[in-house]
Structure 1
Amino acid sequence: MTARLVLVGCGHMGHAMLTGWINAGRIAANEIVVVEPNDDLRDRAATLGCAVASDADGLPADISPEIVVIAVKPQVIREVLADYARFGDGAATFVSIAAGSSVATFEGLLGEDTPVIRCMPNIPAAIGKGMMVVFANDRVSEKARDFVAGLLSASGEVASIGDEKLMDAVTAVSGSGPGYVFHFIEALTAAARTAGLPAETAARLAVQTVYGAAVMAAESGEEPGALRQQVTSYKGTTAAALDVLMGEERLTRLLTEAVEAARKRSIELGS
C-alpha cells in the first residue's frame, strides 16, 4: 500500500492537525492512514478521505510510510509505540506530539537509529493559529525536517529549539498557555458581570478585547510593554487596574508559578 504518512491518534489535536494539512494542500488525504480505536473519531477521519484502521494490526503488511505521527496521550506512549516497532531504526521518521515523551523513549523502544522529531503544538492549531515548537534528533534527514515543517506550518507558526530539555518549558508556555488565556477570558467575563454588564455583553467584550489586543501585539511590531504604556494614561482607569495586577508583580508571579507547575508536570509525564 502506498501511504506517505501514518497518523496514530485522531483526537482533538490529531484531527486539528490532520484537517490543516489536507486543507492547506500539504499532503493529499489518500496519502494518509489514520489509526484510531474510537469508532466516531475514526469515521471522522474517513470523511476527510483518509484510509483508516482501528489499530496497528489493521495496517497493511506492505505499508512503508515516510512519517509516523504519534498523537496519543503521554500516559500510553510506551504501550502504543511497541505496536509500531517495524517502522523503527530508520524505516520511518517518527513525529511525537505527546507532552513529556523524550526522544530517548522513542529510541529505546524503536531502535537507536530511529529519526525522531518532538513537536509541541497547541489547540489554536485547529484554526490555523497554533504555535508549534520542534526538536529533532541528529538522525532526522533534511528532507524529513522540511516536510514536517511544511505540514506543521499549515496549522500556524513553527519554531525549533536545539536543547530538548527546553521542551518542558515550551509545553508549559505555549502548549498549556491557551488554557491560561481561556481562563483569563472567563475571569474577565465574570468581573464584567460583577460590574453590572449583562452576561452576553460581558462575554462579548471579554473575548473581543483579548482577541484584539493579541492581534495588535502580534502585528504592531511593538513590544507588549510599549503597547501597555500607550493605553495607560497617568492616573487613569487603566493605571488604576494595573496597579492591582502589577502591584508587587502579582500577575507575573502568579503566571510564573503556573508555568513552573506545568513544566514540572511535563517532566513527571516523561519519567
Structure 2
Amino acid sequence: MPRYANGQAPLSALVKLGDQHYLPAGTAARWKELQRLAWEKYGVWLVISPGWNAYRPLSIQYEYRAELGVWAAVPGYSSHGLTYGGRDCAAIDVYNWASLGWARFVALCRIVGFTVDFVSPQELWHIGDFDPWNVPAFADITINPETTKLPEPEEAEDMPINFRSTTGGVSYTMVPGICITRHFNEIAAANTNYFNTGKPWPGENASQADREKAGERQLTDAGILMLLKQYGFTWASRDIARLPKDGETLDADHILRARGVDISR
C-alpha cells in the first residue's frame, strides 16, 4: 500500500532539490547518482524539467489538468503524485535526456534503479522510481572533484529547445524562462513539428536532415502549447498564434511581469 495518497505527501517529508522540485529521500539519492554517472561518463549534467516535474501535489495536478487537458494526467492518478498502479512511485521528467542519447540514458537509469518508458502515451523523458523511500547504499558516493567540475545549474537549465509549429511550419528557438525567437524556413511545411533539448539551433534554412542531427523530435501543436506552459511562457501557451512573428522575440512570463505587462489574459 502506498505511503501517501496520490499528490497528498507533505513537502516536509521530501527532499527539496530546487524550486518546485521535491522527491523522497531514496529517489533523490538515485537522481543524484544518475547525475553523477552521466557527468563523469559523458559530460552531460542532467536537470529536471522546470515546474512541478518531480513530485506534483494534488492541487497542482488539478491546475495542470485544467490548463493542459489530456496532456496532463487525471488528478489523483499522476505518477508524479508518488503513487502509480497502486504502488509507491516517484517520477521525474528529465529535461535534457536526449543529450545522452536514448541507449545511454536507459542504461544509466537502470544502473541506479529508475524505470523508463512506463507510461502511455510514451514519454521518453519520464522516469520512475518504484522504491522511492528506500535510500540506496550508493547515496554516500560523492563526485570526485579531481576529475569533474560541475556546471552551474543555471547554465544547464538555459539550453535551447527548438521546435516547429504546424501552423506554417515556422521554426523557433526557446531559451527556457528567458525568450523565444523565430527562424525563417525556406522549406517550411505544414505538419512538421519538432523540438529538441540540449543542443544548439542547426542554422537558418536548415534541412530536415540537419534538424534530425540536432536531435529534433516530432510534436503536435498541443504539445508545443504544453512546452510553452512548462518552460515559463504561460501567456503564449494559451494560443499558438501568440508565438513570435517575423522580427519579434517573446519574453518569458516573469520578464513581462517585471515590465508591468498584464499576462493574465
What is the TM-score normalised by the length of structure 2? 0.28
Give the helix-richer structure, 1 or 2: 1
